Structure 1
Amino acid sequence: MKNKTLSLLFCLLLITTVFSQVKEVNPPDFIKTITFSGGTQQAQLPVIRLGSALTLEFDALNGDEEDFYYVIEHYNFDWTKSVLMKGEYLRGTDNQRIFNYENSFNTFQLYSHYRLRIPNEQTRGLLKSGNYLVSIYDDYDELVFSRKFMIYEDIVNVGVAVKRYRDVKYINEMQSIDLRIATNSINFFNPMDNIKTMIIQNNNLNTAITDLKPQYVLGNELIYRYVKESGFFGGNEFWFFENKDIRAANVGVQFIDLKDIYHNYLFTSFVRKDRPYTYNPDINGNFLVNVIDRQNTDIEADYAVIHFSLDFPNLEPGKKIHVYGNFNNYAIEDMTELFYNQESGLYECNFRLKQGFYNYKYVVVNEDGSIDEGAISGNFWQTENNYKALVYYRDVGARFDRLIGFGEGSSVNISN
């Protein structure tokens, strides 16, 4: 009886491990500026068309010219491991060393810049649409970091419309997303079960809304017009700074100092929750590496220690304040936590970022780990946000979820 119980527990553990959702692994402190680009557009969450090229780049600040290796895996809609064999979704081989790297030139901060492009000589292409995870390993076969990306087939048309939230209680704070999916290429069979959707705000997978069911099916057209289920808090426009000229104070930078490397001190931010909304164009939490008087930004852009400060009245016990943005994939890390400085009366933190244009905001992290994005910045229905809608499809008897459509919309054209 005891052996049977142990066997059952082992099976349950195995099932839980196999079918658990994969999570991205954040890099150590010496890995910085992880960027994706698909086609001609740079993005921190790439959604690229099947057959297009994909490029992953990052910097290693330890100056050791380490060897890094990449592994690519295919996943289902819900980020559980798909049953496809490697050869079914990948032409060639992975688990190969990243050969393309260069050392920094004429910078205070020494680093090596790595570039992985797919297709390449070893990995000649990705054959299936869907969700993917690329994992980067070191020479000791230890996982350094991992990032998600998606590949879609352009089979269905995805209309994305941003509306004011339909619940009066949150009408001034939230935005709602309506979807319209249409095609003549696929005969939707049982779309309530076979069609899956994902809506992403500002490339942030942490707040994505998944698996909404169509409310109306009109032939081969699916309509989604939810009252509450497709709602996002509007947030506020991001703070931003630019330090493309590292020797001078630029937009958002109050003053600079040169120590071992340059230090950039940003203007002190304040609480905007109870202030009226003010339109201030941003790039929706993203960043762009940029430098003046240099030809190759990959290796000639320098790093600076960015000093953040926030004037915040009272922080409840058990809660923390973090800098938040796509510069680190919206991760809550030790380096992004702000601590109260008794001398200045401000919450402060600092960490290294590569020269460029950056969006960021301040969020409150509750004791249970949940994130309150509006506690400091506030939530406003007028805020300009970017929304991506992904449509997945699994036909009867199919073994994996295809990503058959991709649509994008902005709340610039928000309507009632």
Structure 2
Amino acid sequence: MSVHAGAPVERRLTGGILFLLAGLAALGALATNIILPAFPQIGAGLGVTSQELGLTLSSFFIAFAIGQLIVGPLSDRFGRQWLVLSGLAVFVIGSVVCAMAGTLSFLILGRVIQALGACAASVLSRAIARDLFEGEALARALALTMIAMAAAPGFSPLLGSALEGLFGWRITFLVVAGIGAVLALHYARRIGETHPTDRRVTLSAVAVAAAYGRLAADPRFILPALSVSLVIGGLFTFFAAAPALMMSELGLSGLELGLYFAATVGIVFTAGFLAPRLARRQGLRAVGLFGIALALAGGLSMFAVAAAPSISSFTAAIGLYLFGMGLINPLGTALALQPFGQQAGLASALLGFLQMGCAALGASLASILPMPPHVSLAFLLTTGSAIALLVFLPVVLSNALSAPKSTGH
């Protein structure tokens, strides 16, 4: 049943809402991961190298990051529904442009259009979750969303490899266009508007810029948001480095790379399943800190096996990183968004900008650092996780210092 403007919002996490949140949140990663196994074939078809195809990733991340800054405040002012549907329509158009591309420039153009549509879906998935839930319920909703959405980027390379083998690489873009259309239909028929008119805020461009500035200066937002973004940026860096690392260095085929990604889904599933349960016992901050520490341990483990990398040693290291990421992602996101219910779109937009900004930086550095792919990936994951740990520590300490005071209320 649709939620109309001005009506009470639904507070129960149903399967339909979960499907929508997961689909919207996963769309960008799906559109990127599904083409990774086909990089050699795309390069051969367009007459470019796999390294040059890296531009299709970095351009996507940059457009995705910037677009969210515009979509977020617009949704706080005018509501979520028309932006979700418009974004999905733009995504479908961009996917068709990619499918028709005959040159690298045309493919990059399609990827930028894709990103501008997918960014609306991604940022508004978090804003819609914040519209509907709060507190522990918000953390649970985000954790369940992350569990569900992990299947899309995890299994999409396997789907992409199968589609490319049967029909050629262009069909993958038409498939993601179809997924975007299905999400739009589901949203229009089953979800509707979740941001009532009485909660909307009117902001000029100057006011929006000032609001972003206040958010960026507010430690309640920026510390957990930056911590999550650094770890999520490492995940997308792994995606960007995977074709060169696992197909060129470790000798996996496109199908084997797809199977590998699919096998890692269980790690993120498990972490996302445990995150809210552990948080109820130990607190959001303590479990979030533990997640970042695990991600850092995964990055350091890559250095330990850098001299002679193998599938087993690399899997152990990246598995540790992914488990830590699966813990901090929903919990850190909940911490960042919880204090800003009336500005959920704007806060989610800035969080998405930070995440995709870190992803763009990591993907770019992974391709230009003068190191072997496995060494550059280890360096970037370790550095990002170490900075995230330092940034998140004040969040934990501030909570510890305020705890004795809160017990008196």
For CA contacts below 8 A with separation 6 or more, give which structure has more relative contact order: 2
TM-score norm. by structure 1 comes to 0.28
Which is helix-richer, 1 or 2?
Answer: 2
Which is strand-richer, 1 or 2?
Answer: 1
Higher-Rg structure is 1
